[in-house]
Amino acid sequence: MRYYLKIFGCQMNYSDAERISAFLDEYKIKQAASVDEADLVIFVTCGVRQSAEDRVYGQINNISKHYPKKKIILTGCLAHRKDVQRRLKGKVELFCEIKNFPKEIKKILNTKYQILNTKDKLCKDYLQITPKNSNPYTAHIPIMTGCNNFCSYCVVPYARGREYSRPAEDILREIKSLVKKRYKEIFLLGQNVNSYRSVKINFPKLLHKIEKILGNFWLVFLTSHPKDMSDELIEAIAQSKKICEYVSLPAQSGDNEILRKMNRHYTIAHYRKLIKKIKLSFEELRANSDQGKRLALDKLPPAISTDIIVGFPGETKKQFENTAKLMREIKFDMAYINQYSPRPETAAWKLKDNVSKKEKVRRDKLLTEILKKTALENNNKYVGNVIEVLVDKKLGSKLSFGELRANSKQGESLALEPHEYLAHTRTQKKVIFFSNKKIPIGSFQKIKITKAKAFGLVGKIN
Ligand code: SF4
């Protein structure tokens, strides 16, 4: 038997898929290279937007029409929804929430397919499964799952249930094992990562413990809620050598009335104050470094990323303007701008979705234009500096073969062909760089930045 994974949505789903793979490996079920070769197709679904949901329906309908013998399992954010189950009845073998995956898939494998695994201990909390990491140098570790916040537009508290934080020992063990295997970048994941709390350990304390793990690796975490962004956490980010200078802090709107309707539990004044504190703590760090204190001198200015929803029910042009104003003022490095999409079960589902599609598109475009300007402004500050990057992949050659031949002297080999690579900075900015030598993928390199673009940098090996 072979399986194929169809993954939609956020990093959490990709991370869950790594645990599904590891679980199926233990049952000697092999991963197929395509749907064609698979007997079992597992959909790890996303319910954040209608478009993501529609793609799942389209693909499942397609598979059941063309490959009626293939079995389909649906997990992720749509699995618990009764309307989804009704709609896909007869096409999906099993609807299963991710937290129940080990138990429920085991039952099916044992009873329906007589596939047994004597190691019963496998049938446990899915977060205790050691994942089959799909990348050899970057790993994503869920440190918590679920959410207690019930933002009025969001499906997560319904799809994943209440917040659950993994024991700190489990997380530390997983990181130590990855560092031993020379992993270079670790992402800590959670829907509301900064409200992590295990026995006597809050999120900043967990970060301090990770900081003490020996090894050269970057640490990134996603995603923080502004109401849980404490001074202790800001200090931990600024002081740490391992925690990257990348802060993902969704504002969602720049208008207090819309924030209230979204049930976000903070005001724009609070959000502004947080950003100011984050930027100031890095500036103070730099100022103090001249006084001979032990500080992380290699730190970059922090990159701030946000999430914004445009066209929330009732959002007036004036309220939208407040969001545009916030974006101009904060000068975000990245913003994930989403056009509001009503989601079943949520509180906002009952509100009239009264901003037209055309207006949502206009607002989205306007914010994207602001983002392009502020991101470029921030990226320009990198030009001329040498910074550390993590190499992701080799791209094509910078020059065409004709140009290379024209540039090389008679009889000279084409050994000077520059290799083109894609990498990223600690601030999660993409960097294209050139080198005459081959560079190992997954290695840290020092790059001199020569050019800035809105969504990336260009440089050469230093
Ligand atoms: S904090 Fe709000 S937006 Fe984030 S997962 Fe929880 S409910 Fe959803």
Sequential DSSP letters for 442-456: T-EEEEEEEEEETTE
- CB of 191 shorter than 6 A to ligand 1: yes
SS3 per-residue string spanning 265-277: CCCHHHHHHHHHH
Mean pLDDT value across residues 406-421? 59
Which strand (E) or helix (H) includes residue 430? strand 430-435
Atom 8 (ligand 1): residue with closest C-alpha? 154
- CB of 149 shorter than 6 A to ligand 1: yes
- What pLDDT, on the 0 to 100 scale, is given for residue 252? 98
pLDDT exceeds cutoff 70 at 210: yes
Q: Give the position, in ligand 1's atom list, of the atom nearest the Cα of 223.
A: 4
Q: In angstroms, what is the span from residue 176 Cα to ligand 1's centroid?
A: 29
Query: How long a stretch of residues is the chain?
Result: 462
Q: Give the position, in ligand 1's atom list, of the atom nearest the Cα of 225.
A: 1
Question: Best of 12, 149, 194 to mutate for ligand 1, by most ligand atoms within 8 A of CB?
Answer: 149
Q: pLDDT confidence of 411, banded at 50, 70, 90?
A: very low
- CB of 426 shorter than 6 A to ligand 1: no
Beta bridge partners of 336: 307
- CB of 238 shorter than 6 A to ligand 1: no
Q: Helix, strand, or coil here: 344?
A: coil
Q: In what order do the strands lie in the sheet with 2-7?
A: 30-31, 2-7, 40-45, 71-76, 94-95
With a threshold of 0.75, does the pTM exceed it?
yes
Q: Which fold has domain 131-380?
A: pyruvate-formate lyase- activating enzyme (3.80.30)
- What pLDDT, on the 0 to 100 scale, is given for residue 296? 42
Mean pLDDT of the chain: 90
Burial 261-299 (b: 16+ CB within 10 A, else e): bbebebebeebeebbeebbebbeebeeeeeeeeebbeeb
Mean pLDDT value across residues 90-118? 85
Question: Best of 46, 145, 154 to mutate for ligand 1, by most ligand atoms within 8 A of CB?
Answer: 154
What residue has token string 């969704």? 250
What six digits make up the tokens of 280? 């100031």
- CB of 150 shorter than 6 A to ligand 1: yes
Q: pLDDT confidence of 26, banded at 50, 70, 90?
A: confident
Q: In what order do the strands lie in the sheet with 185-189?
A: 138-142, 185-189, 218-222
pLDDT exceeds cutoff 70 at 351: yes
The C-alpha atoms of residue 375 and residue 131 are separated, in whole angstroms, by 35
Q: How many helices (H) and strands (E) does the chain have?
A: 13, 20
Q: Which has the minimum average pLDDT: 229-243, 258-272, 394-408?
A: 394-408
What six digits make up the tokens of 50? 């209608």
Domain ranges for the chain, please list them: 2-122, 131-380, 386-461
DSSP one-letter string for 284-315: HHHHHHTTT----TTPPPPEEEEEEEES-TT-
Q: In angstroms, what is the span from residue 334 Cα to ligand 1's centroid?
A: 19
pLDDT exceeds cutoff 70 at 408: no
Q: In what order do the strands lie in the sheet with 334-339?
A: 246-248, 303-310, 334-339
pLDDT exceeds cutoff 90 at 263: yes
What six digits make up the tokens of 231? 């001074």
The C-alpha atoms of residue 201 and residue 220 are separated, in whole angstroms, by 18
Atom 2 (ligand 1): residue with closest C-alpha? 151
pLDDT exceeds cutoff 90 at 433: yes
Q: Give the position, in ligand 1's atom list, of the atom nearest the Cα of 150.
A: 7
Phi-psi region of 442 (alpha: psi -120 to 50; beta: other; left: phi over 0): left
Q: In angstroms, what is the span from residue 103 Cα to ligand 1's centroid?
A: 27
Q: In angstroms, what is the span from residue 444 Cα to ligand 1's centroid?
A: 34
Question: Best of 46, 145, 156 to mutate for ligand 1, by most ligand atoms within 8 A of CB?
Answer: 156
- CB of 154 shorter than 6 A to ligand 1: yes
What six digits make up the tokens of 212? 């003490």
Among residues 30, 36, 43, 28, which one has the least CA distance to residue 3?
30
- What pLDDT, on the 0 to 100 scale, is given for residue 420? 93
Q: Helix, strand, or coil here: 168?
A: helix
Q: Give the position, in ligand 1's atom list, of the atom nearest the Cα of 192.
A: 1
Answer whether 278's CB lies under 8 Å from 234's CB: yes
- What pLDDT, on the 0 to 100 scale, is given for residue 295? 39
- CB of 236 shorter than 6 A to ligand 1: no
Among residues 194, 182, 203, 154, which one has the least CA distance to residue 49?
154
pLDDT exceeds cutoff 60 at 347: yes
Give 281-336 pLDDT, tens digit per residue. Answer: 888 766 666 543 433 445 678 999 999 999 999 999 999 999 999 999 999 999 99
Q: Which fold has domain 2-122?
A: Rossmann fold (3.40.50)
- What pLDDT, on the 0 to 100 scale, is given for residue 293? 40
Q: In angstroms, what is the span from residue 321 Cα to ligand 1's centroid?
A: 24
Q: In angstroms, what is the span from residue 263 Cα to ligand 1's centroid?
A: 10
Q: Helix, strand, or coil here: 93?
A: coil
- What pLDDT, on the 0 to 100 scale, is given for residue 301? 85
Q: Which fold has domain 386-461?
A: OB fold (Dihydrolipoamide Acetyltransferase, E2P) (2.40.50)
- Taking the CA atoms of the chain, what radius of gyration do you get in angstroms? 24
Mean pLDDT value across residues 20-49? 93
